[in-house]
């Protein structure tokens, strides 16, 4: 009997504990202290520069810059920006200064994802964003980016974004978007002022005030493409700049192989490796540039005046045969298209390849030693080695959420960030903390310069919180538009002018750009696939386009007898997907305006 | 015994009062199943709706069978189904007997220390994440510097085979990797079932002159027949589901003709492409096929072995 009573007591206690646990688990955590509960609370907490109430009182700057005493939450879908956020945003000088001058408590959120946060953007826009989010920022070079259809659907079908056209007209900076010629054609027609939208929902960012896309400035240039080990180039007595054609490139690879160079571990060097960031198809556009006929998203116009997908022409066999030759002769790593970033890094640091498939001068392996120098660049299909530019462009996109409380204030805040004062704060930080004014121009303090030169990003992000040309909190770089650093601040980016170059961690990056200058050529227009939207063949053809890179790689590795059948099967797939309808549409657009599509050969 | 029979026959209300602590303990379980397993089934409606975030699942317009038509008329449909079935067969049928064999072998080991070490070694891979296993595999199978190619080169071969880029090696790699990972873990349940076999049967068989193999065949295997049958029926349900991570990570342009399965397709086209409705439709097809397979396998099993789930 006693035993039974004890059993009941214990089981009742157990059940009670479980129910209590369950209820606790289901609770909303209401007791948890909120860091960002109200703007008033935030203000009280910001000790350095005084409270919001004080600001409302009559700070001189406040009259012009004050927006509202509130919080703005921004969801970031730019991995470079999301990975460079201060650990404690509220106590970072730039965030505090924003609060002091505008009243805005800025809160930045980031969800890591793959493909430059594309999957996070897609999933969150389809499943619904955190209701507290006021705006989002994502990658967007132009309307052919994979992010764009996702954004367009959210704007057009799901009506998730606020129409900012009314606020734009009288804004300080974004009113410029209405000026003729300020926005690139694609940004104007396809992103910001779309005819199928009844307002402005997507703001293209990072559009420069002055178009300098054709000007080569070594202080700013990112020199992408293949790089060769300097000692190998010296030993073979070749000038890396002289390698221009696929034949010359092939001969160089053969020479390297025949010479029998060894890596740091005593192993044979493979002449051509993948991208520094791992195996990828994209490196082909540098290393086999002269054989990449489909320059406009795999489309181009042939000598007969007709438009084709590269798979439909025999040009594709030139590329396939060339790559197969390199693979078969051991001149190119078999994992060129499929290698993890870690392994590629390990191999490059061990000098296991003579030529890096693709890297640029602002990557540590390049600027931290004298081991690698740019190769080429190789000629493209038109026979010159100029870099193609499509002119003025943008790189990110801002959308204010329909759910945001008072979207006008949110818009005003982003507009303010792009004013001279906002840009100064975003790029240089706070006066007296990270820069001082010298002859009317901001100049970084010695401490910040030293940290910049040491590459101490953590310090720059957490102790200042400004962008510093992308070396600090990158969010403040990508959120800007109407940039013109040369005219506004007297230098291309913070810290670029003055000082001892030998101390500058990026000194070699600039030196490389000076020693290996490049020329630009302007090819106007959009990639062909930008015009696929709305056609009946869109879905099937898009799927086929997406499959093409993999089909091509498959052809590189297939048995010789299978290559033709792979290409023929893909040609058949394009036909079934409705490529003829698409080509007709492209031809119509091209005939109306030959600069609408970026074909060249 | 008599009272327990009485208690079972008592009205539900009385039973609830009498055993209320036990029923309360059941509540979290029921809540879990309702919230996590049954409520989400309402999401299957997406397979017939043009989903809009603003309108929600119920407010979005109906599209009928559009996604199903799109899928069954798509270029990849047949290939995807075929590949998924083959991978499902490898995982559900081909790998099935190996865990039983391992359990039988472990059961015969008399040295307890050796047995425990062997068991631990075979269980361990189950706890490694797929990403780690695939990364190891990529290194082992890498052309030139990979362990396998080094061995081949030592033995006079070329040593530069890119195993992961060739279609012909895909199934072998998948089979070996999956078996290595799961064989130990899957054998636990059989070992437990074997432990439940009456030991007097073995003694009797030994006295009758049965050797180890005969005892295994005539006593152990029939003794665990029920467990084998149940696991087989449940495994059959996954025939049209290849699992995502493993195949996705193993997939290269060279082997994609075989590695493109429905699960990979759903993630690639459906979720990453934001086509939730389309992805749900394919998921629904997989679920329904799985259900039909389980019911069929259950019936066949019941008829042939008298073992069944219900």
Minimal Cα distance from A11: which residue of B? Answer: B21
pLDDT bucket at B287, cuts 50 / 70 / 90 = confident
Chain B environment of A119 (Cβ under 8 Å): 271-272
- The whole-number pLDDT of residue A25 equals 42
Q: How confident is the model at residue A149 (pLDDT cuts 50, 70, 90)?
A: confident
What is the enclosing helix (H) or strand (E) of A563?
Answer: helix A560-577
- For residue A504, what pLDDT is reported? 66
User: Per the structure, how many domains does chain B have?
Assistant: 1
Q: Where are the alpha helices (DSSP H) in A27-134?
A: 39-45, 52-58, 60-65, 79-82, 93-102, 118-127
Helix/strand number for chain A, H first, E second: 26, 15
Tell me if chain A has a CB within 8 Å of the CB of B63: no
Which residue of chain A comes nearest to B24, CA vs CA? Answer: A15
- Residues in chain A with CB shorter than 8 Å from the CB of B163 are none
At A185 the pLDDT is: 85
pLDDT of A201 = 97
pLDDT at A478: 92
Q: Is the pTM of this model over 0.90?
A: no
Burial letters for A427-442: b for 16+ Cβ neighbours within 10 Å, e otherwise?
bbbbeebbbeeeeeeb
Closest residue of A to B254, CA-based? A554
pLDDT of residue A44: 31
B8 pLDDT higher than 80: no
> Is residue B243 situated within a structural domain?
yes
- Mutate which: A265, A284, A550, vs B, most B CBs within 10 A: A550
Q: Cα distance from A232 to chain B (closest Cα, Å)? A: 22
pLDDT in tens, A342-370: 899 999 999 999 999 999 998 889 988 89
pLDDT at A46 over 70: no
CA distance B83 to B90: 11
Considering only alpha carbons, which residue of chain B is nearest residue A557? Answer: B254
How high is the pLDDT of residue A113?
73
Q: Is A550–B256 a contact, with Cβ atoms under 8 angstroms apart?
A: yes
The count of other CB atoms within 10 Å of the CB of residue A396 is 24
- Contacts with A, B 229-258, CB within 8 Å: 252-254, 256-257
CB pairs < 8 Å spanning A and B: 96
Band of residue A12 on the pLDDT scale cut at 50, 70, 90: low
Position with higher pLDDT, A8 vs B238: B238
Neighboring chain B residues of A158 at a CB cutoff of 8 Å: 52-54
Angle of helix B96-108 relative to helix B112-123, nearest 10 degrees, comes to 160
Which residue in A10, A18, A23, A126 has the most chain B C-beta atoms within 10 A of its own C-beta, making it the best mutation to test that interface?
A126
Mutation pick from A10, A339, A554, A566 vs chain B, by most beta carbons of B within 10 Å, is: A554
CA distance A85 to A4: 60
CB-nearest partner of B253 from A123, A154, A337: A337
A154, closest residue in chain B (CA to CA): B53
Residue A257, Cα to own-chain centre: how many angstroms? 36
Helix (H, G, I), strand (E, B) or coil at B122: helix
Put simply, whether B143 touches A (Cβ < 8 Å) is: yes
Residue A317 confidence (pLDDT): 96
Q: What is the mean pLDDT of residues A452-464?
A: 90
Is residue A81 over pLDDT 60?
yes
Looking at residue B97, its pLDDT comes to 93
Confidence of residue A469 (pLDDT cuts 50, 70, 90): confident
Task: Kindly state the DSSP code that residue A143 receives in the 8-state scheme.
Answer: T
Residues 149 to 178 of A: which have CB under 8 A from any B CB?
A: 150, 153-154, 157-160
**Residue A28: what pLDDT?**
40
**B31 interaction partners in chain A (CB closer than 8 Å):** 22
Cα separation, A75 vs A154, in Å, equals 15
Residue A20 contacts B where some CB pair is shorter than 8 Å = no
Nearest by CB to residue B21, choosing from A11, A126, A157, is A11
CB-count burial class (<10 Å; 0-12, 13-18, 19+) for B88: buried
CA B259 to centroid of chain Cα atoms: 17
Interface probe with A: pick from B268, B273, B278, most Cβ of A within 10 Å? B273
Name the residue facing B272 among A15, A119, A330 (closest C-beta).
A119
Digit-coded pLDDT (tens) for A486-507: 899 998 888 877 655 555 677 8
- Mean pLDDT, range A166-194, rounded to an integer: 93
What confidence tens digit (pLDDT) does each residue in A261-315 have? 999 999 899 999 999 999 999 999 999 999 999 999 999 999 999 999 999 999 9
Query: What's the pLDDT score for residue B104?
Result: 92
pLDDT digits (tens, 9 = 90+) for A20-37: 444 444 434 333 333 333
**Average pLDDT of span A462-471:** 92
Q: What is the mean pLDDT of residues A124-153?
A: 88
User: Which region holds residue A260: left if phi is over 0, alpha if psi is between -120 and 50, else beta?
Assistant: left
The domain in which residue B284 lies consists of: 65-305
Residue B45 lies in a domain: no
Reported as a pLDDT band with limits 50, 70 and 90, residue B3 is very low
- Copy the structure tokens of residue B149: 């190619």
Sort out which chain B residues have CB atoms less than 8 A from A19's CB and list them: 24, 27
Q: How many Cα neighbours within 13 Å face the side chain of A226? A: 32
Rounded-to-integer distance, Cα A19 and Cα B27, Å: 9
How near does any CA of chain B get to the CA of A344, in Å? 12
- Arithmetic mean of pLDDT over chain B: 87
User: Cβ–Cβ of A573/B75 closer than 8 Å?
Assistant: yes
A270: Cβ contacts below 8 Å, ≥ 6 apart? A330, A331, A332, A333, A352, A353, A354, B144
* Shortest distance, CA A576 to any CA of chain B (angstroms): 9
B77 touching chain A per CB within 8 A: no
Nearest by CB to A126, which of B24, B142, B276? B276
User: How big, in percent rounded to 5, are the helix, strand and coil portions of chain B?
Assistant: 75, 0, 25
Rounded distance between C-alpha atoms, residue A545 and residue A582, angstroms? 12
Q: Which residue of A has its CA nearest to B135?
A: A340
| Cβ–Cβ contact B61 with A under 8 A | no
C-alpha dihedral, A531 to A536 to A540 to A546, nearest 10°: 10
What CATH number does the domain containing B245 carry? 1.10.3720.10
Q: Does B22 touch chain A (CB under 8 A)?
A: yes
Name which of A338, A549, A552 is nearest B165 (Cβ-Cβ).
A338
Long-range contacts of the stretch B75-81 (C-beta < 8 A, 24+): B75/A540, B75/A543, B75/A544, B75/A573, B75/A576, B75/A577, B76/B260, B76/B265, B79/B257, B79/B260, B80/B260, B80/B261, B80/B262, B80/B265, B81/B240, B81/B262
- 3-class DSSP state for residue A63? helix
- pLDDT score at A33: 35
Nearest by Cα to A186 from A202, A167, A170, A163: A202
Asked if A557 lies within 8 A of B142 by C-beta distance, the reply is no
Q: Provide, as residue numbers in chain A, all residues whose Cβ is less than 8 Å from the Cβ of B276.
A: 126-127
Q: Tell me, yes or no, if A330 comes closer than 8 A to chain B by beta carbon.
A: yes
Percent over 70 (pLDDT), chain A: 88
Q: Does A542 touch chain B (CB under 8 A)?
A: no
Is-contact B277 B197, C-beta < 8 A?
no
Please give the Cα distance from B9 to B3 (Å, whole number): 10
Closest residue on chain B to A23 (Cα) = B28
Please provide the distance, in angstroms rounded to a whole number, between the alpha carbons at the two ends of chain B: 25
**For chain A, what is the mean pLDDT?**
86
Among candidates A158, A343, A577 on the partner chain, residue whose Cβ is nearest the Cβ of B52: A158
A15 to B138: CB separation less than 8 angstroms, yes or no: no
Residues A240-255 have pLDDT tens digits of: 999 999 999 999 999 9
Which residues are paired to A70 by β-bridges?
A: A104
Picking from A14, A122, A127, the nearest residue to B273 by CB comes out as: A122
**What is the pLDDT at residue A19?**
47
Query: Is A335 within 8 Å of chain B by CB?
Result: yes
Average pLDDT over residues B103-122: 91
For A126, the closest of B27, B53, B144 (CB atoms) is B53
DSSP A301: E
Asked if residue A387 has pLDDT above 60, the reply is yes
Whether the predicted pLDDT of A511 surpasses 50:
yes
Lowest mean pLDDT among A185-194, A218-227, B238-247: B238-247
**Which domains are delineated in chain A?**
46-209+394-488 (3.40.190.10), 225-389+525-592 (3.40.190.10)
Window 234-273 of A, Cβ < 8 Å to B: 267, 270
Q: Which residue of B has its CA nearest to A552?
A: B253
C-beta atoms of B162 and A576 within 8 A = no
Cβ atoms of residues A463 and A93 within 8 Å? yes
Contact B54 A160 (CB under 8 A): yes
Collect all residues of chain B within an 8 Å Cβ-Cβ radius of residue A334.
143-144, 160, 162, 165
Residues of B in contact with A18 (CB under 8 A): 24-25, 28
pLDDT at B57 over 50: yes
B162-191 residues touching A, CB cutoff 8 A: 162, 164-166
Distance to chain A for B184, nearest Cα, Å: 29
């Amino acid at each position: 009997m006693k035993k039974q009573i004890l059993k009941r007591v214990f089981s009742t206690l157990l059940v009670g504990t479980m129910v209590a646990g369950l209820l606790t688990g289901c609770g909303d955590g209401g007791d948890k202290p909120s860091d960002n509960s109200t703007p008033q609370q935030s203000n009280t907490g910001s000790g350095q520069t005084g409270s919001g109430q004080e600001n409302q009182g009559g700070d001189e700057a406040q009259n012009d810059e004050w927006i509202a005493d509130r919080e703005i939450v921004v969801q970031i879908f730019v991995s470079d920006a999301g990975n460079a956020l201060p650990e404690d945003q509220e106590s970072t000088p730039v965030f505090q200064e924003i609060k002091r001058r505008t009243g805005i408590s800025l809160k930045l959120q980031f969800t890591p994802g793959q493909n430059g946060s594309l999957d996070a953007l897609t999933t969150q826009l389809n499943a619904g964003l955190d209701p507290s989010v006021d705006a989002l920022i994502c990658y967007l070079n132009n309307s052919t980016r994979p992010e764009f259809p996702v954004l367009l659907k959210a704007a057009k079908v799901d009506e998730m974004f606020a129409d900012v056209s009314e606020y734009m007209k009288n804004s300080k900076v974004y009113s410029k978007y209405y000026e003729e010629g300020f926005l690139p054609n694609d940004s104007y027609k396809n992103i910001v002022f779309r005819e199928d939208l009844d307002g402005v929902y997507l703001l293209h960012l990072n559009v420069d005030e002055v178009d300098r896309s054709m000007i080569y400035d070594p202080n700013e240039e990112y020199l992408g493409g293949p790089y060769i080990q300097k000692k190998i180039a010296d030993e073979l007595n070749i000038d890396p700049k002289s390698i221009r054609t696929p034949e010359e490139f092939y001969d160089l690879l053969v020479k390297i192989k025949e010479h029998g160079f060894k890596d740091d571990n005593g192993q044979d060097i493979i002449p051509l490796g993948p991208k520094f960031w791992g195996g990828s198809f994209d490196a082909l556009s540098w290393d086999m540039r002269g054989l990449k006929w489909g320059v406009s998203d795999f489309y181009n116009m042939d000598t007969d005046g007709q438009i084709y997908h590269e798979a439909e022409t025999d040009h594709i066999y030139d590329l396939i045969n060339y790559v197969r030759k390199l693979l078969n002769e051991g001149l190119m790593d078999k994992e060129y298209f499929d290698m993890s970033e870690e392994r590629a890094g390990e191999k490059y640091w061990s000098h296991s390849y003579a030529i890096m498939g693709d890297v640029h001068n602002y990557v540590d392996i390049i600027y931290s030693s004298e081991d690698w120098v740019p190769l080429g660049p190789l000629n493209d299909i038109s026979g010159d080695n100029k870099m193609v530019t499509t002119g003025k462009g943008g790189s990110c996109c801002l959308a204010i959420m329909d759910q945001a409380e008072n979207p006008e204030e949110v818009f005003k805040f982003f507009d303010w960030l792009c004013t001279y004062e906002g840009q100064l704060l975003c790029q240089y930080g706070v006066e007296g903390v990270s820069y001082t004014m010298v002859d009317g121009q901001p100049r970084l303090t010695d401490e910040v310069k030293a940290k910049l030169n040491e590459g101490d990003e953590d310090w720059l992000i957490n102790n200042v919180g400004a962008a510093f040309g992308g070396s600090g909190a990158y969010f403040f770089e990508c959120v800007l538009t109407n940039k013109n650093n040369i005219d506004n601040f007297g230098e291309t980016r913070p810290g670029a002018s003055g000082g001892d170059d030998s101390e500058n961690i990026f000194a070699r990056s600039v030196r490389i750009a000076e020693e290996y200058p490049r020329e630009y050529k302007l090819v106007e227009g959009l990639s062909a696939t930008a015009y696929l939207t709305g056609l009946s063949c869109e879905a099937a053809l898009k799927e086929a386009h997406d499959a093409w890179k993999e089909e091509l790689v498959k052809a590189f590795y297939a048995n010789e007898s299978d290559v033709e059948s792979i290409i023929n099967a893909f040609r058949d797939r394009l036909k079934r997907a409705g490529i003829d309808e698409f080509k007709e549409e492209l031809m119509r657009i091209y005939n109306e305006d030959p600069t609408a599509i970026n074909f060249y050969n | 015994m008599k009272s327990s029979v009485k208690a079972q026959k008592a009205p539900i209300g009385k039973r609830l009062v009498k055993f209320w602590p036990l029923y309360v303990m059941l509540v979290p379980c029921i809540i879990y199943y309702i919230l996590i397993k049954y409520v989400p089934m309402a999401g299957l409606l997406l397979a017939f709706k043009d989903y809009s975030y603003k309108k929600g699942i119920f407010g979005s317009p109906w599209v009928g069978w559009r996604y199903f038509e799109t899928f069954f008329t798509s270029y990849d449909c047949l290939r995807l189904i075929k590949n998924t079935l083959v991978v499902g067969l490898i995982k559900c049928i081909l790998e099935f007997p190996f865990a039983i064999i391992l359990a039988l072998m472990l059961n015969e080991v008399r040295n307890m220390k050796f047995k425990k070490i062997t068991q631990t070694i075979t269980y361990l891979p189950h706890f490694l994440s797929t990403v780690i296993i695939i990364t190891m595999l990529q290194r082992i199978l890498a052309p030139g510097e990979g362990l396998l190619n080094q061995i081949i080169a030592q033995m006079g071969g070329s040593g530069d085979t890119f195993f992961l880029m060739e279609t012909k090696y895909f199934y072998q790699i998948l089979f070996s990797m999956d078996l290595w990972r799961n064989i130990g873990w899957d054998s636990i349940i059989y070992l437990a079932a074997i432990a439940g076999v009456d030991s007097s049967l073995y003694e009797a068989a030994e006295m009758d002159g049965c050797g180890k193999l005969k005892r295994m065949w005539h006593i152990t295997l029939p003794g665990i027949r029920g467990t084998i049958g149940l696991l087989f029926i449940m495994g059959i349900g996954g025939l049209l589901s290849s699992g995502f991570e493993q195949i996705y990570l193993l997939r290269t342009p060279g082997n994609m003709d075989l590695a493109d399965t429905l699960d990979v397709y759903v993630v690639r086209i459906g979720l990453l492409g934001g086509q939730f409705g389309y992805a749900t439709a394919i998921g629904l097809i997989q679920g329904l096929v799985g259900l039909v397979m389980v019911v069929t396998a259950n019936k066949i099993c019941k008829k042939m072995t008298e073992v069944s789930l219900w």
